[in-house]
């Protein structure tokens, strides 16, 4: 119902109610203006929940905030997530990849041009065409928050570097780097606070830039980073509690540094079981978090999120909603 129509109807109903009241002054319950208003506002409510049901596209924002060779694992964490969301169908045009350093080209890299997340070095995360949207010193707190809220210079910023989401977008946001109580360091130079991100999400909600957000962070005291969120439809997980460190999983002695963090490693291990048609749910993922393996207490925040975790598919965030229905056969290599 258009706003104008609603106003007209309300005006009409008000006049009618007053007229009737005038006619039948003995019976006050004949036409209750409050009931009319309640009815109209219920209609609006119904409209809103209809809109909430719509989810048509998935996006990912993946950020490694650390510089320096010894933080190799943070880059590997983010690139591993990048590989996973792409495998599950989110196209590069809907992924914002921010890497504060490029260890692939670090002179200390014994395997130049590569990044591995496992000492078996079976999978080079750098080999497949990766599209880095922001790299090196471009990766700042300001850039990150502007990308989220789309407060970017539109004449200077190509579409590929913008988060062009709308009210039907589910967004997976992954952050990794060094952090502490309610902050995450960027480049060893500055920090984003839990409040900054909470406020950015609130702006995003107000400007209809998301349908749902799945926030994941791997850093020390990570769970404090989602503690300030206050906007609807946000699901959040972190690698460790207040006053608790997060740990790396293992080192590659030839690369010479740790190549992946524990929380990310076990998330990826779970996500490897997910394919495009998977029925696995968020509950399955959260149930898989094992402090004995992760060596810290991963946290899950669901109070801002209405849906039942047993009914939220992993592919609601990881994957391309529309690709499920698209016939992927391009007809070029049909030999039958």
Ligand X SMILES: *[C@@H]1O[C@H](CO)[C@@H](O)[C@H](O)[C@H]1NC(C)=O
Catalytic residue IDs: 178, 220
* Alpha-carbon dihedral sign for residues 162, 167, 171, 177: positive
**Rounded least distance, CB 57 to ligand X, Å:** 25
The per-residue DSSP string of 47-81 comes to HHHHHHT---EEEEEEEE---SGGGHHHHHHHHHH
Q: Of 252, 330, 314, 332, give the one whose Cα is nearest residue 87.
A: 314
Interaction between residue 29 and ligand X (CB under 6 A): yes
User: Binding residues for ligand X, how many (CB under 6 A)?
Assistant: 6
Interaction between residue 303 and ligand X (CB under 6 A): no
**Rounded least distance, CB 136 to ligand X, Å:** 45
Please state, as a whole number, how many other Cβ atoms lie within 10 Å of the Cβ of residue 59.
24
182 near 225, Cβ under 8 Å? yes
With a CB cutoff of 8 Å and minimum separation 6, the contacts of 330 are: none
65 near 100, Cβ under 8 Å? yes
Q: Which is nearer to ligand X, 166 or 311 (CB)?
A: 311
303 near 234, Cβ under 8 Å? no
With a CB cutoff of 8 Å and minimum separation 6, the contacts of 149 are: 200, 203, 204, 207, 209
Q: Angle at CA 50, nearest 5°, toward 45 and 54?
A: 145
State how far the alpha carbon of 257 is from the alpha carbons of 34, 90, 212, 220, 236, in Å.
68, 30, 36, 18, 29
Paired strand residues for 173 = 61, 215
The correct pick among 8, 15, 30, 105 for binding ligand X (CB under 6 A) is: 30
Interaction between residue 311 and ligand X (CB under 6 A): yes
Q: Which is nearer to ligand X, 181 or 308 (CB)?
A: 308
Q: Which is nearer to ligand X, 128 or 308 (CB)?
A: 308
Region from 22-30, 36-44, 73-81, 157-165 binding ligand X, contact rule CB under 6 A: 22-30
The correct pick among 19, 27, 38, 189 for binding ligand X (CB under 6 A) is: 27
**Rounded least distance, CB 292 to ligand X, Å:** 27
Q: Which is nearer to ligand X, 155 or 310 (CB)?
A: 310
**Rounded least distance, CB 25 to ligand X, Å:** 11
Interaction between residue 32 and ligand X (CB under 6 A): no
Q: Which is nearer to ligand X, 27 or 93 (CB)?
A: 27
**Rounded least distance, CB 28 to ligand X, Å:** 8
Q: Of 219, 146, 139, 142, give the one whose Cα is nearest residue 183.
A: 219
Please state, as a whole number, how many other Cβ atoms lie within 10 Å of the Cβ of residue 276.
14
Q: Which residue has the tokens 């650390």?
A: 66
Interaction between residue 310 and ligand X (CB under 6 A): yes
Region from 23-31, 41-49, 233-241, 267-275 binding ligand X, contact rule CB under 6 A: 23-31
For 171, list phi and psi in degrees, rounded to 5: -125, 130
Interaction between residue 308 and ligand X (CB under 6 A): yes
**Rounded least distance, CB 23 to ligand X, Å:** 12
Q: Which is nearer to ligand X, 31 or 266 (CB)?
A: 31
Region from 3-11, 26-34, 36-44, 129-137 binding ligand X, contact rule CB under 6 A: 26-34
Residue ranges that bind ligand X, judged by CB under 6 A: 27, 29-30, 308, 310-311
């Amino acid at each position: 119902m258009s706003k104008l129509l609603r106003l007209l109807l309300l005006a009409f109903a008000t006049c009618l109610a007053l007229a009737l009241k005038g006619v039948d002054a003995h019976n006050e319950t004949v036409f209750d203006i409050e009931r009319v208003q309640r009815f109209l506002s219920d209609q609006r409510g119904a409209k809103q929940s209809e809109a909430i049901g719509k989810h048509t596209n998935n996006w990912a924002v993946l950020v490694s905030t650390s510089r320096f060779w010894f933080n190799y694992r943070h880059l590997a964490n983010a690139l591993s997530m990048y590989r996973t969301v792409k495998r599950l169908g989110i196209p590069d045009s809907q992924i914002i990849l921010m890497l504060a350093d490029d260890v692939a080209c670090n002179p200390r890299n014994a395997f130049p041009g590569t990044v591995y997340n496992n000492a078996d070095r079976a999978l080079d995360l750098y080999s497949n065409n990766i599209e880095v949207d922001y790299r090196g010193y471009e990766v700042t707190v300001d850039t990150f928050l502007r990308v989220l809220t789309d407060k970017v210079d539109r004449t200077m910023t190509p579409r590929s570097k913008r988060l062009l989401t709308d009210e039907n977008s589910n967004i997976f946001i992954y952050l990794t780097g060094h952090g502490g109580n309610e902050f995450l360091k960027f480049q060893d130079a500055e920090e984003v606070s839990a409040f900054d991100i909470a406020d950015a999400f609130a702006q995003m909600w107000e400007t209809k830039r998301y349908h749902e957000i799945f926030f994941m962070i791997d850093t020390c005291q990570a769970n404090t980073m989602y503690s300030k969120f206050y906007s609807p439809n946000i699901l959040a997980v972190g690698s460790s509690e207040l006053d608790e460190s997060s740990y790396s999983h293992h080192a590659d002695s030839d690369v010479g540094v740790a190549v992946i963090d524990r929380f990310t490693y076990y998330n990826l291990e779970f996500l490897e079981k997910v394919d495009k048609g998977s029925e696995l749910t968020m509950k399955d993922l959260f149930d898989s978090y094992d402090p004995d393996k992760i060596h810290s207490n991963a946290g899950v925040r669901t109070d801002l999120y209405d849906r039942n975790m047993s009914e939220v598919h992993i592919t609601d965030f990881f994957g391309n909603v529309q690709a499920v229905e698209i016939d992927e056969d391009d007809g070029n290599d049909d030999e039958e």
